[in-house]
Structure 1
Amino acid sequence: MKPSEENDSFPSEPKYRKVAERLRNEIGAGAWGPGEQLPVERELADSLSVSVNTLRRAVSRLVAEGVLLRRQGAGTFVRAPEPPPGHGTAPGGTAAGTASGGTRRLIGVLVPSTTYYYPRVIDGIQRHLRGAGAGVMLASSKYDLGLERDELRAMLETGVHGLLLVPNLHLMDAPQAHVDALADLPVPHVLVERRPTDPAPDDPTTFVMTDHAGGVYRAIRHLSTLGHRRIGLMGRHLTGTGEMIARGFADAARLLDVDLVEGAAVRHGEWTPDAIAEYVRFCARAGVSAVFCHGDRDAAALAVHARRHGLDVPGDLAVVAYDDEVAEVGDIPLTAVSPPKEEVGALAAQLLLRSLDRPGGEPTHRVLLQPRLVVRASCGARSASRPRRSEVPA
């Protein structure tokens, strides 16, 4: 039954004060840690058997008291305690999730998206941080540079002890200048799935990311061992990894002596159905027998258009995808390069906590993790009737 003011479970007046008291007690008991987001209004009001209006007044009271923090467009969060003077610079020896003053550590995590690619990275981050007793403040920039700046500022104002950042370097005019400026942040940070674009030899930035070029090479090498000599690329512009994938493809084609037909390596900001259909027709004319696609959805669409054009997949056109988010769910399960997303997130979180434990004493880490190649039916390794997955050895 929908709650209302008349059936609120807090009979004493004013009701919102009782709700505020209960929320305050639950926060004190650890129901939500510092920096963690409260449930959405309707869900929280229903759990307390009060109206949304009563809940809003209670939350406003706790915001005024400094218990909660409202962030425009993001939600309501438990405010982190004010860090002690010089936090983040004390010597090590504390518990992994605890700051030198005994405060539970709060780590800010800023990603471009929470709907594609990054959910598994976030899972790895949260699993490690929560296992270490640290709190997590998560925000998304939605690939917007202005929002990225605002979210970063809000995290620092909230009092995070460290930051895990996925900056939108591919959208910036001066990406290396942005990376350099991050060194002036008042708390330690680690880049996740990003690296300095033009670093000095002694660049101090710690980063953890997938070796995207290595993953592309592994895929092209596999296609080459299957006898494919003319291999195409359906790439993308304006993505965080688009340039790395394109360079990786060019390097792999050169090292593996792939016959690069003019017009076979194409990149778009977005692949429309018409563009994919035209690319299929080009492959048929030019004798391109395999295509590496930057993205599962583009690869699945390519397979559909190839079959409409009368091409057998994988008999006439082999397809390999990059990402492995939804590669195995189509009519023809797609062979895919599978980045180690959870491992990237977990290792980045581990390195950040280590830097908090050993400020000034932890060396810079530059970590590249190799992706796997998951072989399915679309690359000619087995018939489409047997899409059982396996892995190609390194």
Structure 2
Amino acid sequence: MNIENGLWAPGTQLPVERELAETLSVSINTVRRAVGELVAKGLVQRRQGAGTFVMPVADSSAGTSAAAPVGRRLIGVLVPSTTYYYPRVVDGIQRVLRDAGVGVVLASSKYDLAIERDELRAMRDSGVQGLLLVPNLHIMTDPQGYVDDLRDLPLPYVLVERRPPAPEPDDPTSYVGTDHGGGVCLALRHLRGLGHQRVGHLGRLRTGTSAFVAQGFDDATALLGLDAVDDAVDRREVWTGAEIAAYVRCCAAAGVTAVFCHGDRDAAALVVEARRQGLTVPDDLAVVAYDDEVAEVGDVPLTAVSPPKSEVGALAAQLLLRRMEAGDDALCHRVEIQPRLVVRASCGASRIKVPD
């Protein structure tokens, strides 16, 4: 389990019961019973009004914890969520750090800036020697100012799946992330090779990646000479069933034959609604999703851009370890990894070579 293998280090707050139930695909009652057993065994403690935390294990002689022996290095990892997108990023981080004999203190900001601030302070106070950070830049009023302020941290850090939004040319921030624009271009190039010309984008607003995906769509359609139909290019914070139904009608009326969706769940809902309105997928409407979290489930498995989540986490951990060893001589690294395109039934054909 995550407590035994060190993913949830002493003092780490556990995800809320609802998140655990969704992640493990069990009922909330099952989670409550399991947590109750952990409390009875003294492995976790419930704090009124705060949550459930992994118990610190005191050493009788030196006051150190059994999970963090004397001399063992610790890395703090702060992510927005422990249930969607980031579990595979954390898996990559954990694999590298475990091999290096380094422990992990994991915390989730739950997309809340106040929690993010408190968790970052708590990790600094816990004595970690480095930080891997996924800050909520997309909901900040001054995201570049926040990134600039991170330079005052007294320990090395690397941003993960985030980058300075408006950096100066000599910005020293190191980061590892997904080349979202490159992934979108892979998908649209594939659709063009299948003969699609009039395309749409059913997108999102105010997520950590939505702006990069939207820009990637605009850049790729211009590069590839595709006709991005204005009425079928739409982004919202949340898509309701009625809005997706209206979007399908718009695509049908405008002659749109392919839609790029951000992300899987909206794409799956689009496929269901298109079929309900009498369209066949992929013959009448090809669909490609971005995320590849749940794309392969459903009656029509979704072709999807698959961000290299585990690889991003692993490379970020390797980079942080090198920065910790180099100290003040550490070089700045800016790394982007291109996603894969996983071709399934929703676009109607296997990958083919597309001429430039």
Q: TM-score, normalised by structure 2?
A: 0.85
How far does residue 103 in structure 1 lie from its aligned partner after superposition? 1.4
Q: How far, CA to CA, are the matches of 1:34 and 1:211 in structure 2?
A: 29
When Rg is computed on C-alpha atoms for both structures, the one with the higher figure is 1
How far does residue 129 in structure 1 lie from its aligned partner after superposition? 0.7
Deviations 1:67-123 (A, max 9, x none): xx9994351353899xxxxxxxxxxxxxxxx99xx7111100000001100010011
Alpha-carbon contact 1:34-1:80 (below 8 Å) kept: no
How far does residue 34 in structure 1 lie from its aligned partner after superposition? 9.9
Q: How far, CA to CA, are the matches of 1:139 and 1:213 in structure 2?
A: 29
Q: Where does residue 13 of structure 1 map in the other structure?
A: none
Alpha-carbon contact 1:32-1:78 (below 8 Å) kept: no
Q: Where does residue 358 of structure 1 map in the other structure?
A: 326
Q: How far, CA to CA, are the matches of 1:33 and 1:289 in structure 2?
A: 45
| AA in 1 matched with 2:56 | V
Q: Is the counterpart of residue 44 in structure 1 residue 38 in structure 2?
A: yes
Q: Is the counterpart of residue 325 in structure 1 residue 293 in structure 2?
A: yes
Q: Where does residue 310 of structure 2 map in the other structure?
A: 342
Question: SS where residue 274 of structure 1 aligns?
Answer: helix
Structure 1, unaligned stretches of length 5 or more?
Answer: 1-26, 49-54, 61-68, 82-97, 383-389
Structure 2, unaligned stretches of length 5 or more?
Answer: 15-33, 60-67
What aligned pairs does 1:251-330 form with structure 2 within 5 A after superposition?
A: 251-330=219-298
Q: Where does residue 162 of structure 1 map in the other structure?
A: 130
Q: TM-score, normalised by structure 1?
A: 0.77
Question: Identity, % of aligned pairs?
Answer: 62
Q: Is the counterpart of residue 198 in structure 1 residue 176 in structure 2?
A: no
Distance 1:362 1:190, change over 3 A: same
| AA in 2 matched with 1:366 | R
Q: Where does residue 248 of structure 1 map in the other structure?
A: 216
Q: Is the counterpart of residue 105 in structure 1 residue 73 in structure 2?
A: yes
Q: How far, CA to CA, are the matches of 1:120 and 1:180 in structure 2?
A: 28
What aligned pairs does 1:375-394 form with structure 2 within 5 A after superposition?
A: 375-381=343-349
Q: Where does residue 54 of structure 2 map in the other structure?
A: 76
Q: Where does residue 207 of structure 2 map in the other structure?
A: 239
Root-mean-square deviation (CA, aligned residues, Å) is 2.9
| Aligned pairs, number | 325
Q: Where does residue 99 of structure 2 map in the other structure?
A: 131
Distance 1:59 1:278, change over 3 A: closer
Alpha-carbon contact 1:372-1:392 (below 8 Å) kept: no
| AA in 1 matched with 2:209 | T
How far does residue 36 in structure 1 lie from its aligned partner after superposition? 3.6
| AA in 2 matched with 1:370 | Q
Alpha-carbon contact 1:374-1:391 (below 8 Å) kept: no
